[in-house]
């Protein structure tokens, strides 16, 4: 894992009077981080945005951190080497932690291929506030979908360090939720996520 930058001795953490608990009370729901992980083409972003749509329609405060979108801004300086992937996930993890404190239901949609980086993300959040959702889909199905044409380019050698082809994907051992997106419909998948949120008393919708 990348070494964390040294904290400046001239900075002191400022404790705000408006706390996460007060924000949750105002929002009338708890905050949580839903971490969607899986191969490219497994349906992470599609599912995360569909879940957000349903939550939004029910009046909940949400935000999706999408892999491609984040690389247009916060992580636009990063490539796709193992080192840069780790830094990408580190930044997203810290951002998700801030949104958790803001009282928002945060949905992250990233391949996040390495167990160590997902574990590091989990370790930043209070116990129970990080829900890992593995969007399982066989590589052959992901390649058949190839919605962005990336697998074809990776097979031709045009894209280096491509997860599932020339770079590994380490499947979660014990995710809170595992969804086979090759077999379940989008609506069925959304309801599985909503169900776990209800079971954990994060929402009552």
Please list the active-site residues.
112
Where on the phi/psi map is residue 150: left (φ > 0), alpha (ψ -120 to 50), or beta? alpha
Report yes or no: 30 and 202 within 8 Å, Cβ to Cβ.
Answer: yes
Indicate the DSSP class of residue 205.
Answer: -
Whether residue 108 contacts residue 92, with contact meaning beta carbons closer than 8 Å, is answered with: yes
Pairing type for strands 105-109 and 62-66 reads: parallel
Helix (H, G, I), strand (E, B) or coil at 167: strand
Residue 17: CB atoms within 10 A of its CB come to 5
Rg (CA), the chain: 17
Give DSSP secondary structure letters for 40-68.
TTSSHHHHHHHHHHHHHHTT--EEEEEHH
Residues 6 or more apart whose CB falls under 8 angstroms from that of 199 comprise none
């Amino acid at each position: 894992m990348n070494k964390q930058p040294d904290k400046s001795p001239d900075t002191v953490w400022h404790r705000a009077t408006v706390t996460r608990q007060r924000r949750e009370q105002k929002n009338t729901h708890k905050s949580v981080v839903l971490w969607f992980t899986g191969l490219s083409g497994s349906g992470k972003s599609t599912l995360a945005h569909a879940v957000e749509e349903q939550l939004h329609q029910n009046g909940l405060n949400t935000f999706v951190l999408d892999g491609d979108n984040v690389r247009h801004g916060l992580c636009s300086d990063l490539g796709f080497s193992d080192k840069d992937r780790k830094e990408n996930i580190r930044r997203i993890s810290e951002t998700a932690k801030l949104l958790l404190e803001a009282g928002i239901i945060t949905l992250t949609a990233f391949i996040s291929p390495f167990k160590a980086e997902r574990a590091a993300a989990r370790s930043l959040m209070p116990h129970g506030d990080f829900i890992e959702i593995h969007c399982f889909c066989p590589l052959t199905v992901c390649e058949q979908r190839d919605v962005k044409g990336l697998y074809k380019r990776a097979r031709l050698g045009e894209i280096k360090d491509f997860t599932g082809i020339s770079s590994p994907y380490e499947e979660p051992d014990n995710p809170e939720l595992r969804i086979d997106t090759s077999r379940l419909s989008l609506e069925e998948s959304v309801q599985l996520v909503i169900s776990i949120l209800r079971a954990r008393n994060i929402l009552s919708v």
